[in-house]
Amino acid sequence: MEAYSHGIVKQWCSCLFLGIVLLLSSAASFAAAETQFHNFVVQQTPVKRLCKTHNIITVNGQYPGPTIEIKSGDTLIVKVVNKAQYNVTIHWHGVRQMRTGWADGPEFVTQCPIRPGGSYTYRFTIEGQEGTLWWHAHSSWLRATVYGALIIHPKDGSAYPFAKPKTETPILLGEWWDANPIDVINEARRTGGAPNISDAYTINGQPGDLYKCSSQDTVVVPVELGVTNLLRVINSALNQELFFSIANHKMTVVGVDALYTKPFTTSVIMLGPGQTTDVLVNADQPAGRYYMAARAYQSAQNAPFDNTTTTAILQYSSTKNKKASPILPKLPAFNDTQAATTFTTSLRSPRKVDVPTQLDEDLFFTVGLGLNPCPKGQNASQTCQAPNGTRFTASMNNVSFQLPSTFSLLQAHYERATHYERANNVFTTDFPAAPPTKFDYTGNVSRALQTPVQGTKVYKLKYGSKVQVVLQGTSIFTSENHPIHLHGYDFYIVAEGFGNFNAKKHTSQFNLIDPPIRNTVAVPVGGWAVIRFVADNPGVWLMHCHLDVHITWGLAMAFLVEDGVGELQSIEPPPADLPQC
């Protein structure tokens, strides 16, 4: 009996010890996750570029805005106070926002804008993502100057899947207008024509040596001989895909859109607006000064574009002559689609991934530009300055997306059950699963197909449904590369190609083993891309072209993902300070 009792006590002590260990382990894990608080003051700030001073909209007086660094698993609480003269929202580009769609940010989609003098606090947790994302305004063209890096480090106790670099540097590629960007897009809306192109590209807010009045402020990135550096490259430009290269240095790509990739080495990368690419650069060249440079990848024929080149300087610390002229890299030609394709098709996930194979939704979306006839009674020379006296438009599946103005889509969806009358007429759920008319998408297109219908239409998805979307570019007016961004989700890019997608021919070419995972896909000029994802995040999620002029013209749609079963598969209630329209 005594031995039996002793065994019971021993067993109880062991269980108690194990329980304490597990409790402490759990507490340590919980303690490792942090909550960060930030204040963003959106305000007008005088900034001098290209010899002139402009009052631009900034966050906390900084251009670009503050870099936020967190660990995977951390929670961000960011209070945004609007002291500018424009409405504003902030989008956390690429953050999954699991059940926290109220924090996603696109104006009139997940929230009404923050009015001048108002404020709103974004609250969300980042899980399962590591690498480089960014944040930017999602209201009119404010993101021309309102943007910054969002860097997600591994959790404590975790590590990069590569040797930790000694230094890390965000490289934000941007676009600069020698004018107020809001005036630029408002003028284009008035005339119906294309907006004026930018006057410069920038790296971390500076145009660089090749522009007037800019040499003194050119960004210098210091490096040490023999040291590996991690560059976090972000295309923050408003309307332009960009090539990026470093003179005499190779780049090893290790991540895109806050997800790791199978490493590969290249001398040039291509990023569409919204995309990020993490590259390792080994400082293995003779001590000196080497230009980092970016310039346009312009895929649309005969369309005007900014053909200038922005530069920063990679400077070895042991360089004796720190005023020596840097070496320029050889960048691809502006229209080098082969270089762009070589880069995008080289991307792979590091290992086998769980690509959906049994599909619940097989969707086909055409994406491209169009032309609206000049409204009757208007002066064509003033308000219809697109080709042949028309107005530019854009669409998906012949629907030119129109944002609501009195409700956000998510608010209307959430309130339909309780406030049916006021929320019911905000949107319809009849976005087409395929184009209403089949045609030679990348060939000669009939003028009868140039004019889309306008509408605020969403496509409804059941929670957990496995979705495939074929994104088919069109040659209506012109064909070009379209960076298509899906809010609230990462997706697998299982294939891309040129010409018209043919399921019988191209399905056998799908990569269902290790396709790259992204939040923004560059749909090839005159071609197509196929993405897959699981609809496991309830809410209303915008999908749009990240060339901002195209979303202005209507190249967008939205998915309405229904709640699943129970609280953990349902959208959270709206926060008390959600802006009202």
Same-domain status, 323 and 299: yes
Query: 403 and 464: one domain?
Result: yes
Question: CA of 364: how far to CAs of 102, 237, 436, 471, 528, in Å?
Answer: 28, 28, 11, 6, 10
Q: Contact, 332 vs 293, CB < 8 A?
A: no
pLDDT at 420: 60
Tokens 């609280």 — which residue?
567
Tell me what pLDDT residue 32 has.
Answer: 72
- Please tell me whether residues 375 and 484 are part of one structural domain: yes
Domain end position, chosen among 324, 347, 370: 347
Please report whether residue 20 resides in a domain: no
Closest CA to 94 of 41, 171, 161, 147: 147
Residues 6+ apart with CB under 8 A from 528: 470, 471, 472, 473, 496, 497, 498, 499, 500, 501
463 in the same domain as 436: yes
283 within a domain of the structure (yes/no): yes
In a domain, 77, yes or no: yes
Torsion sign, CA atoms 518, 524, 525, 527: negative
pLDDT, averaged in runs of 10, over the chain (581 residues): 42 43 44 89 98 98 98 98 98 98 98 98 97 98 98 95 96 98 98 98 98 97 97 98 98 98 98 98 97 97 96 96 94 98 98 97 98 92 95 98 95 80 85 96 91 97 98 95 98 98 97 98 98 98 98 98 96 96 89
pLDDT at 417: 63
pTM for this entry: 0.94
Task: Report how far apart, in Å, the C-alpha atoms of 288 and of each of 165, 168, 227 are.
Answer: 21, 20, 14
Q: 439 and 428 in one domain?
A: yes
Q: pLDDT by residue (tens digit) across 186-200?
A: 999 999 999 999 999
Judge contact between 528 and 470, C-beta under 8 A.
yes
Does the residue 488 lie in any domain? yes
196/315 same-domain check? yes
pLDDT for residue 380: 86
Domain holding 132, by residue range, is 32-158
Domain boundary among 141, 158, 175: 158
3 state SS for 462-518: CCCCEEEEEEEECCCCCCCCEEEEECCCCEEEEEEEECCCCHHHHHHHCCCCCCCEE
pLDDT the model gives residue 418: 65
CA-wise closest residue to 135 among 100, 175, 93: 93
Whether 431 and 399 have beta carbons less than 8 Å apart is answered as yes
Assigned domain for 92 exists: yes
Neighbours of 250 (CB within 10 A): 14
CA angle 381, 394, 510 (to 5 degrees): 155
CATH number assigned to the domain comprising residue 63 = 2.60.40.420
What is the model's pLDDT at position 419? Answer: 64
Judgement on whether residues 387 and 529 belong to the same structural domain of the protein? yes
Q: Are residues 239 and 259 in the same domain?
A: yes
Whether residues 211 and 267 fall in one domain:
yes
In a domain, 14, yes or no: no
User: In total, how many domains does the chain have?
Assistant: 3
244 and 276 in a common domain: yes
Do 267 and 326 belong together in one domain?
yes
- What tens digit of pLDDT does each residue of 219-231 get? 999 999 999 999 9
Cis peptide upstream of residue 64 (ω within 30 degrees of 0): yes
pLDDT digits (tens, 9 = 90+) for 133-146: 999 999 999 999 99
Task: Tell whether 88 and 180 lie within a shared domain.
Answer: no
Amino acid of residue 338: Q
